[in-house]
């Protein structure tokens, strides 16, 4: 592996794909934390706090092994009418979310955190996504694929759920789960190059 790599505190295949897209080498170090939203916590504060917590827990783990590379973490949520839509617990919850999003515009908020030693930097990306009106039959067919079950808001913009999306304002990669503009800028501050800065890294 290249010496210029990060520890990725995530098991998300979308985040792996996006890092590979910009030539950033990484080593997977997923962590589990309590991701429940606190009472009255603003959605933007929530995703940044969770991203920071993931980065912190991962850093504690890798630093114990003498790590000398930064840790990257992120968290994404969907917001509509002040309500936060995380990952659905089951198909019924996914169907409810998709019905609520049908024909409406919602906000996708992604927080990113990079930690190295005692230094921790964060960034935030906010996007707007409009769903076309969907039918109950379409939503049921989509949920039958199981694609929505591990996605915030119960859909994947890069997957089959793309057929529901009428408009995107903001960052496509942020809606996927890792805003590449903000992420590459953060990593550059820690000396991790993207493809613009040299040869693409591969894990």
CATH architecture for the domain at 5-197: Alpha-Beta Complex (3.90)
Choosing from 4, 75, 146, 197, the catalytic residue is 75
Per-residue pLDDT tens over the stretch 51-110: 999 999 999 998 876 778 999 999 999 999 989 999 998 999 999 999 999 999 999 999
User: What does DSSP assign to residue 82?
Assistant: T
Q: What is the mean pLDDT of the chain?
A: 92
Structure tokens at 198: 């040299």
Contact indicator for 129, 155 with CB cutoff of 8 Å: no
Boundaries of every domain in the chain: 5-197
Per-residue pLDDT tens over the stretch 153-198: 999 999 999 999 999 999 999 999 999 999 999 999 998 988 766 5
Question: 75 catalytic, yes or no?
Answer: yes
What is the C-alpha separation between 110 and 146, in angstroms, rounded?
23
Contact indicator for 85, 153 with CB cutoff of 8 Å: yes
Return the half-sphere exposure (C-beta side, CA atoms, 13 A cut-off) of residue 195. Answer: 10
pLDDT at position 4: 78
Cα angle: 61, vertex 66, 71; to 5 degrees: 50
- Using the predicted structure, report yes or no on whether residue 201 has a pLDDT greater than 60: no
pTM value? 0.90
Q: What is the largest CA-CA distance in the chain?
A: 53
Residues in the chain: 203
């Amino acid at each position: 592996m290249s010496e210029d790599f990060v520890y990725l505190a995530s098991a998300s295949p979308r985040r792996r794909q996006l890092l590979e897209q910009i030539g950033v080498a990484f080593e997977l170090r997923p962590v589990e934390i309590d991701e429940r939203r606190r009472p009255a916590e603003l959605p933007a504060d929530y995703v940044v706090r969770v991203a920071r917590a993931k980065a912190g827990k991962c850093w504690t783990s890798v630093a114990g092994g003498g790590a000398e590379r930064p840790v990257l973490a992120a968290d994404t949520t969907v917001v509509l009418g002040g309500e936060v839509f995380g990952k659905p617990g089951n198909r019924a919850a996914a169907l409810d979310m998709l019905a609520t999003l049908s024909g409406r515009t919602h906000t996708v908020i992604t927080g990113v955190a990079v930690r190295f030693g005692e230094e921790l930097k964060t960034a935030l990306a906010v996007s707007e996504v409009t769903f076309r009106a969907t039918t109950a039959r379409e939503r049921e067919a989509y949920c039958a694929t199981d694609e929505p079950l591990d996605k915030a808001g119960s859909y994947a913009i890069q997957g089959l759920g793309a057929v529901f999306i009428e408009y995107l304002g903001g960052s496509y990669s942020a809606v996927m789960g890792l805003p590449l503009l903000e992420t590459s800028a953060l990593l550059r501050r820690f000396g991790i190059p993207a493809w613009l800065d040299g040869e693409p890294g591969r894990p």
